[in-house]
C-alpha cells in the first residue's frame, strides 16, 4: 500500500522539472563529480563546455572591467551574458545554487543592449550589459519569488522589486535567482522545493545562508556581481563561507521594497528591518553597485530610502584609524579566528594605518539577546500559515528550533525597541577616544571557521550590527591552513549555551567532537564595521584593508 503524497511534493517535482528544462541541453555536464571530489572550483574550466573566450570573460574581468570593455565596444553584451549564463548553469549543476532561471530573457535583453550601443546611443547606465544575479526574494516580473515554499510556487510576480527596476535602469542584465533556506531563518541554504546548496570550495562545509545560493554562484564565477539580503548575517555569512566580498548596508540606504519574505506587510516595522546589498569579487565592483543604484534616485520609489547620492570617500590609508574588536562577550572565537585578526592588524600597521585596540564587550554582549527577541515579535505565524497550507514540513535544522508562537503584546514590543534605542545611543561613544575618531573597526564574522552543513553556530557577530543599523562588510583574508589547526580554546567556564556549542567545533576527534581537518582550504575573513549610513566610509575602509592585505601577498610572492 502506497502512502499518499503531501500537497507540497508534486509542486516541488514540477518546479524542479521546470528549472531543469530551462538549462539548454548543450550546457549540461556529461557527468557529475564523484563523492571523493570535494572542491568544484576547477570544473568549469575543465569540463569543456566553455570556450576560451567565455573562460576569459568569466575569469579575467571584474564588473568594472567588463563595463569598460562593453562601453569601448571590445566586448559585446551578448557574449558576456552568454558566458555567465553558461557558467551559472554549470555552477548550478554542481552546487544547486539557482532557483529561477531566465537565460532566454537575459540573452534577448543583451541583444537589445548591443543594438542600443550600435545605434550610437550612450550606455543606459554604469551597469550597461553587466549580468547581475539576485537572491530569490527579489521579485522579477513574470517569474516566481517562491522563497522555496510550495505555497508561493507558480505564482509569477506582476511587478518588479524597486531594486530590480533600479538595476535594469542602470543597464544590468538579470539572468537568474539564487537559493535560500526555508523560512529565510536558517544559516544553511536548504528548502523542500529546490533542495540544498553545496559549498564549491569544500562540499562538506556549509555555503551559508540565507543568501547561500548567491555566495556559491559568485564563488564559482557564475556571477561577478550579485545581490542578497541580510537581517542577521545573510549576506555576510555566505560571503565568509564562499570567500567573497559582501556588504550589509544600513537598511535606509538601498531599496528593499517589493521583496517576498513570507511575512505580512509592515512586519519589519515592528521587528528588525532587513537590508539589501552586494556580493562580489572586488571592492571596486561593490562600489560600482552602490553608485549605480544611487544614480537611480531610489528614494523617489521606496519611501524608506533616505535621499543620499553616493559620494565616494577618498582617504589615504595612513589617515585611517581602525579599531580591533576581538570578542563580543557572548561566544569566544576559536584560535584561528583570533590569529587572523592579529595578522590583519599587523598588515594594517605595516600599511601605515593607525590601529586601536577596542574592548566593547560590555555593550556588544547585550546585542544578541535583544536582536533575538526582536526577530520573534510576530511569532512566525505568517510563515507557518504558508507551510501548513501545503502540508510542508520544516527542514531538519529548523524542525528543532522553530515553533509557532503567539505574537508579542504591544507593550513588550515597545519595551524592546526602547532597549534598542538606549543601546544604540550608548554605542555612539565607541567611535571616539582620547586621540580622535575611529573610522571603522574590524571583528570576526563568526567565532569559528566555515563549519559543516547545519553546524553554523551563533550569529552574535553579525546580527548585532543589524540591531544597531551599522553598515558591515566582509573582506576575505586567506585560506585555512594546517598551522591554523593548532591551538585550543582556554579552559575557562563557558559563556553560555552558544559558547558551549561553539567549543564543540574546535575539538579534535570523531563522534560528537569535530575534526579540524575539515576546515582546510576554507576561507578566513574579517568583518569591517562603520557607523549608521556611512557606507562610503565602509567601502573606503574595506578597500584600504584589502589593498594592505594584497600588498603583503605581493611582497611575500616576490620573496
Please tell me what DSSP assigns to residue 516.
G
Separation CA 301–CA 304 (nearest Å): 9
Please give the radius of gyration of the chain, using alpha carbons only, rounded to the nearest integer.
23
Separation CA 164–CA 256 (nearest Å): 10
Phi, psi at residue 343, to the nearest 5°? Answer: -60, -45
Q: State the catalytic residue, choosing from 146, 189, 210, 522.
A: 210
Q: State the catalytic residue, choosing from 83, 223, 234, 308.
A: 234
C-alpha dihedral sign at 312, 315, 316, 321? negative
Q: What separation in angstroms does the CA of 260 have from each of 97, 139, 156, 449? A: 18, 7, 12, 31
58 in a known ligand binding site: no
Residues 6+ apart with CB under 8 A from 275: 229, 230, 231, 235, 248, 249, 250, 251, 253, 254, 256, 466
CB count within 10 Å of CB 225 equals 28
C-alpha dihedral sign at 342, 247, 489, 496? positive
List the grid coordinates of 257. 521594497
CB count within 10 Å of CB 3 equals 5
Report yes or no: 149 and 392 within 8 Å, Cβ to Cβ.
Answer: yes
Q: State the catalytic residue, choosing from 15, 76, 86, 135.
A: 135
395 in a known ligand binding site: no
233 in a known ligand binding site: yes
Instruction: Please choose, from the candidates 239, 257, 189, the residue with its C-alpha nearest in 3D space to the C-alpha of residue 454.
Output: 189
Torsion angle, alpha carbons of 521, 523, 524, 529, to 10: 180
Separation CA 82–CA 401 (nearest Å): 42
Cis peptide before 210 (omega within 30 of 0): yes
Secondary-structure percent of the chain, ordered helix, strand, coil, rounded to 5: 40, 15, 45
> Strand, coil or helix: what is 325?
coil
> Strand, coil or helix: what is 138?
strand
234 in a known ligand binding site: yes
222 in a known ligand binding site: no
List the grid coordinates of 435. 586621540
List the grid coordinates of 523. 576561507
Helical ranges in 236-360 per DSSP H: 236-242, 283-294, 335-350
210 in a known ligand binding site: yes
Let me know if 210 is a catalytic residue: yes
Report yes or no: 148 and 185 within 8 Å, Cβ to Cβ.
Answer: no
Does an H or E element contain 34, and which? none
Separation CA 474–CA 240 (nearest Å): 7
Separation CA 531–CA 204 (nearest Å): 36
CB count within 10 Å of CB 345 equals 18
Q: Which residues does the annotation place in the binding site?
A: 184, 210, 231-234
Q: Which residues does the annotation place in the binding site for substrate?
A: 184, 210, 231-234
Catalytic residues: 135, 210, 234
Amino acid at each position: 500500500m502506497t502512502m499518499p503524497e503531501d500537497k507540497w511534493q508534486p509542486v516541488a517535482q514540477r518546479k524542479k522539472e521546470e528549472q531543469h528544462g530551462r538549462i539548454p541541453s548543450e550546457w549540461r555536464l556529461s557527468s557529475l563529480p564523484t563523492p571523493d571530489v570535494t572542491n568544484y572550483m576547477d570544473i568549469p574550466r575543465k569540463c569543456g563546455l566553455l570556450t576560451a573566450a567565455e573562460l576569459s570573460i568569466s575569469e579575467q574581468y571584474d564588473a568594472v572591467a567588463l563595463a569598460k570593455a562593453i562601453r569601448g565596444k571590445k566586448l559585446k553584451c551578448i557574449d558576456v551574458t552568454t558566458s555567465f549564463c553558461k557558467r551559472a548553469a554549470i555552477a548550478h549543476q554542481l552546487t544547486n545554487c539557482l532557483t529561477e532561471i531566465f537565460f532566454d530573457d537575459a540573452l534577448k535583453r543583451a541583444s537589445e543592449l548591443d543594438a542600443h550601443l550600435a545605434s550610437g546611443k550612450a550606455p543606459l547606465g554604469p551597469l550597461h550589459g553587466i549580468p547581475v544575479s539576485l537572491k530569490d526574494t527579489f521579485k522579477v516580473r513574470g517569474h516566481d519569488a517562491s522563497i522555496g515554499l510550495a505555497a508561493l510556487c507558480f505564482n509569477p510576480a506582476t511587478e518588479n522589486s524597486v531594486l530590480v527596476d533600479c538595476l535594469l535602469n542602470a543597464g544590468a542584465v538579470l539572468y537568474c535567482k539564487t537559493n535560500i533556506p526555508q523560512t529565510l531563518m536558517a544559516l544553511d541554504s536548504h528548502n523542500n522545493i529546490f533542495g540544498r546548496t553545496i559549498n564549491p570550495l569544500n562540499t562538506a562545509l556549509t555555503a551559508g545562508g540565507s543568501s547561500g545560493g548567491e555566495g556559491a554562484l559568485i564563488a564559482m564565477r557564475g556571477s561577478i556581481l550579485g545581490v542578497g539580503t541580510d537581517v542577521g548575517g545573510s549576506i555576510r555569512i555566505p560571503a565568509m563561507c564562499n570567500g567573497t566580498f559582501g556588504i550589509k548596508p544600513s537598511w535606509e540606504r538601498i531599496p528593499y521594497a517589493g521583496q517576498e519574505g513570507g511575512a505580512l506587510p509592515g512586519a519589519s516595522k515592528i521587528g528588525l528591518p532587513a537590508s539589501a546589498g552586494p556580493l562580489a569579487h572586488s571592492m571596486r565592483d561593490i562600489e560600482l553597485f552602490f553608485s549605480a543604484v544611487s544614480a537611480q534616485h531610489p528614494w523617489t520609489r521606496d519611501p524608506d530610502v533616505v535621499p543620499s547620492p553616493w559620494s565616494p570617500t577618498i582617504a589615504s590609508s595612513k589617515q585611517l584609524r581602525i579599531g580591533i574588536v576581538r570578542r563580543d562577550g557572548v561566544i569566544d572565537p576559536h584560535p584561528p579566528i583570533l590569529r587572523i585578526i592579529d595578522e590583519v592588524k599587523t598588515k594594517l600597521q605595516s600599511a601605515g594605518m593607525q590601529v586601536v585596540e577596542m574592548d566593547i564587550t560590555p555593550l556588544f554582549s547585550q546585542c544578541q539577546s535583544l536582536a533575538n527577541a526582536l526577530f520573534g515579535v510576530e511569532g512566525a505565524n505568517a510563515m507557518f500559515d504558508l507551510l501548513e497550507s501545503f502540508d510542508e514540513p520544516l527542514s531538519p535544522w529548523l524542525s528543532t528550533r522553530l515553533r509557532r508562537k503567539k505574537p508579542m503584546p504591544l507593550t513588550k514590543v515597545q519595551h524592546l525597541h526602547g532597549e534598542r534605542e538606549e543601546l544604540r545611543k550608548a554605542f555612539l561613544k565607541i567611535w571616539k577616544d582620547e586621540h580622535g575618531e575611529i573610522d571603522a573597526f574590524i571583528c570576526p564574522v563568526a567565532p569559528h571557521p566555515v563549519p559543516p552543513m547545519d553546524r553554523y553556530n551563533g550569529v552574535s557577530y553579525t546580527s548585532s550590527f543589524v540591531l544597531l543599523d551599522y553598515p558591515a562588510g566582509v573582506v576575505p583574508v586567506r585560506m585555512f591552513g594546517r598551522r591554523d589547526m593548532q591551538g585550543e580554546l582556554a579552559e575557562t567556564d563557558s559563556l553560555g549555551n552558544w559558547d558551549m556549542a561553539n567549543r564543540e567545533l574546535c575539538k579534535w576527534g570523531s563522534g560528537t567532537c569535530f575534526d579540524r581537518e575539515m576546515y582546510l582550504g576554507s576561507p578566513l575573513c574579517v568583518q569591517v564595521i562603520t557607523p549608521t549610513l556611512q557606507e562610503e566610509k565602509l567601502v573606503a575602509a574595506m578597500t584600504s584593508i584589502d589593498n594592505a592585505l594584497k600588498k603583503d601577498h605581493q611582497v611575500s610572492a616576490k620573496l
